[in-house]
């Protein structure tokens, strides 16, 4: 298999999108909150069904399972995660949303878990403890997305602190680029414009916040236009649970939501037109 960067480019070109499907299982929202059946039997077919259809229709170019949402259901949830990793490995880039980051030796262990055990192509990483905590994740052929300017409301507490003439998130971006990492940059802030420019649009961004969090997809696509293939725009609940608003079959509702997002994405990238 090619390295993750090449895998991202190729997948985007072949599927004509940069949309990433984030997987955040919530039992109460699956199958209208049905309480019947084992956890594994409820989560697995729900996400397999949606993902298989989105891949069949070329509406996504990555998946992003969120470790915490699976782990909260104990071993049953982790078995589902294992099944997802095995089912889609080498078919589409898999970004494990684990937000790891610890002292060097611990980070080495976390990196082995993410890349060797789970088989992820990429992993989200917290940079707060500095270079030695991030380096183990910057493995050749893999990709670490460093949390930079995130999409949550509390991001301002630290990320927008002024350090001289720059915001702290800009310094994080500079460091991450020098370490060979990608960046997590939320769609809920126009900081993405500054960061794309600062990174020369050659650094892969993982961009959450589209959909349920109300991120500005048009603003994001305008910023990414010069080199969109390496980036991934992630939507999670808005796709997985689209049927809550639309009604009907969860798979068909998810497909329509992804198609709606891709209509905007493909408008900004003419060669992505299907």
pLDDT for position 160: 86
pLDDT-derived band at 2 (thresholds 50, 70, 90) equals: low
Q: What is the CA radius of gyration of the chain?
A: 18
CA-to-CA distance for 103 and 113, rounded, in angstroms? Answer: 15
Name the pLDDT band for 1 (thresholds 50, 70, 90).
very low
Which is more confident, 209 or 162? 162
pLDDT in tens, 186-201: 988 788 888 988 887 7
Average pLDDT of the segment spanning 24-35? 79
> Does the structure show a pLDDT above 50 at 104?
yes
36: pLDDT confidence band, cut at 50, 70 and 90?
A: low
CB hemisphere CA count around 253 (13 angstroms): 17
- Which domain, by its residues, includes 62? 4-272
CATH number at residue 129: 3.20.20.70
pTM of the model: 0.95
H, E, C per residue of 23-86: ECCCHHHHHHHCCCCCHHHHHHHHHHHHHHHHHHCCCCCEEEEEHHHHHCCHHHHHHHHHHHHH
Total domains, the chain: 1
Q: At 90, is the pLDDT very low, low, confident or very high (cuts 50, 70, 90)?
A: very high
Tens of pLDDT, residues 150-171? 988 898 999 889 999 999 999 9
Instruction: Name the percent of the chain lying above pLDDT 90.
Output: 79
d(CA 32, CA 130): 43
- What pLDDT shows up at residue 272? 80
99 given a catalytic annotation:
yes
Q: Taking the chain, what is the end-to-end CA distance rounded to the nearest angstrom?
A: 26
pLDDT value at 133 more than 90? yes
Mean pLDDT for the chain overall: 92
Q: Binning pLDDT at 50, 70 and 90, where does residue 82 land?
A: very high
Catalytic residue among 72, 89, 91, 99: 99
What six digits make up the tokens of 174?
A: 């500079």
Indicate if the pLDDT at residue 33 is higher than 70.
no
Pairing of strands 162-163, 95-100: unpaired
Residue 35 has pLDDT above 60, yes or no: no
Question: Per-residue pLDDT tens for 223-260?
Answer: 998 889 999 999 999 999 999 998 889 999 999 999 99
Assigned token pair, 76? 């049953």
- The answer to whether 167 and 211 have CB atoms below 8 angstroms apart is no
């Amino acid at each position: 298999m090619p390295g993750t960067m090449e895998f991202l480019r190729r997948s985007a070109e072949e599927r004509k999108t940069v949309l990433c499907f984030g997987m955040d299982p919530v039992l109460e929202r699956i199958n209208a909150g049905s309480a019947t059946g084992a956890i594994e039997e409820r989560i697995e077919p729900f996400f397999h069904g949606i993902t298989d259809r989105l891949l069949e229709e070329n509406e996504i170019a990555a998946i992003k399972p969120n470790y915490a949402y699976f782990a909260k259901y104990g071993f049953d949830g982790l078995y589902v995660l294992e099944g997802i990793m095995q089912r889609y490995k080498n078919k589409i880039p898999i970004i494990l949303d684990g937000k790891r980051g610890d002292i060097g030796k611990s980070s080495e262990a976390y990196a082995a878990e993410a890349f060797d055990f789970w088989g992820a192509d990429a992993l989200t990483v917290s940079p707060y403890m500095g270079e030695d905590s991030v380096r183990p994740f910057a493995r050749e052929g893999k990709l670490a997305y460093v949390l930079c300017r995130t999409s949550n409301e509390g991001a301002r507490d630290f990320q927008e602190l002024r350090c001289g003439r720059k915001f702290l998130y800009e310094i994080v971006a500079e460091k991450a680029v020098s370490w060979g990492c990608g960046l997590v940059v939320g769609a809920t802030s126009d900081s993405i414009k500054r960061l794309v420019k600062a990174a020369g649009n050659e650094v892969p961004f993982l961009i959450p916040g589209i959909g349920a969090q109300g991120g500005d997809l048009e603003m994001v696509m305008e910023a990414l236009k010069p080199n969109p293939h390496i980036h991934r725009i992630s939507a999670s609940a808005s796709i997985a649970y689209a049927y809550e608003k639309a009604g009907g079959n969860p798979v068909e509702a998810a497909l329509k939501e992804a198609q709606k997002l891709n209509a905007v994405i493909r408008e900004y990238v003419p060669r992505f037109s299907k």
